[in-house]
Amino acid sequence: MEPYATVDQVWAGGLLFARLGAIIMLLPGIGEAYVPARIRLALALLLAMALYPVVGHTLPALPPTTGGMVGWILREVATGLAIGAILRLFTSALMTAGEIVSMQTTLGFSQTANPMQAAPGSTLSAFLVLLGVTLIFATDTHHLFIGAMVGSYEMIAPAKPLVAADFSELAVRTMSQSFLLGVQLAAPVLVFALVFNLASGLVARVMPSFQVYFAAAPLSVLLGLSVFALSLGVLGTVFIDRYRALIRVFMGGALG
């Protein structure tokens, strides 16, 4: 391969491909099961060649032993999987919000195939997850993924020790923030459900003979979905802003 690329260049390209391929495998939208594996591999290879002039100086030299080569490749794969898992983990906020809205509007039993998960989920949860992926591409947030990949080589340089404790702390923090964000996104429907259920209970106490359930059930679905539709714009905006802030953590070069 010397006429085309030196041994050191092939080694550097392989290290870049190991980390970038692992990240792309877990990225929202790009790393889904319905995206052909050849497309993801081709994208990872293209990014490895494009980013080599930018981050090539941070890569270690070719080890003299096979064991050293395998160790470096496994380290880069583990780093890429950790970064991709954290970026995907935050999208669980939309699934949490969808499940809460489904329970409050009595639509929790409405199940549908969720292309983002192996198991089916509630219809509103699947809708919100697909909405989030659409917003990521519509707002060009996926361009920040490339910036995060470049920033990861400054924040987690291959020549530096891999600190697993920082990754664990960031993963726990991301999970807690995503759950909190999911509850916040569903807050309008939660407030409506609280007021509506209190009103229904008062009507049932004042008029015991009135069949509150038959009147309240369709109103709960109709009004709950109306409140959900009215808050959809704010929901998408808040999610994208918070997701961009998470990506900038890797672009800024600091785990904290």
State residue 112's pLDDT score: 62
State residue 165's pLDDT score: 73
Q: Is 74 exposed, middle or buried (0-12, 13-18, 19+ CB in 10 A)?
A: exposed
Structure confidence at residue 118 as a pLDDT band (50, 70, 90)? low
Structure confidence at residue 218 as a pLDDT band (50, 70, 90)? confident
Residue in 221, 125, 220 with CA at minimum distance from that of residue 182: 125
Average pLDDT over residues 2-24: 83
Instruction: Answer yes or no: are the C-beta atoms of 189 and 104 closer than 8 Å.
Output: yes
Helices (H) and strands (E) in the chain, counts: 10, 2
State residue 142's pLDDT score: 87
Structure confidence at residue 183 as a pLDDT band (50, 70, 90)? very high
Residue 12 pLDDT > 90, yes or no? no
Residue 158 pLDDT > 90, yes or no? no
Structure confidence at residue 254 as a pLDDT band (50, 70, 90)? very low
Round to whole Å and give the CA distance between 174 and 184.
Answer: 15
pLDDT tens track for 29-84: 888 877 888 888 899 999 998 888 888 888 888 888 888 888 889 989 988 998 88
More confident residue, 24 or 256: 24
Residue 1 pLDDT > 60, yes or no? no
Residue 238 pLDDT > 90, yes or no? yes
More confident residue, 225 or 160: 225
Average pLDDT over residues 195-213: 82
Cα dist from 196 to 199, 205, 212, whole Å: 5, 14, 12
Structure confidence at residue 114 as a pLDDT band (50, 70, 90)? low
Residue type, 145: F
Mean pLDDT of the chain: 84
Residue 108 pLDDT > 90, yes or no? no
Note the pTM of the prediction, 2 decimals: 0.81
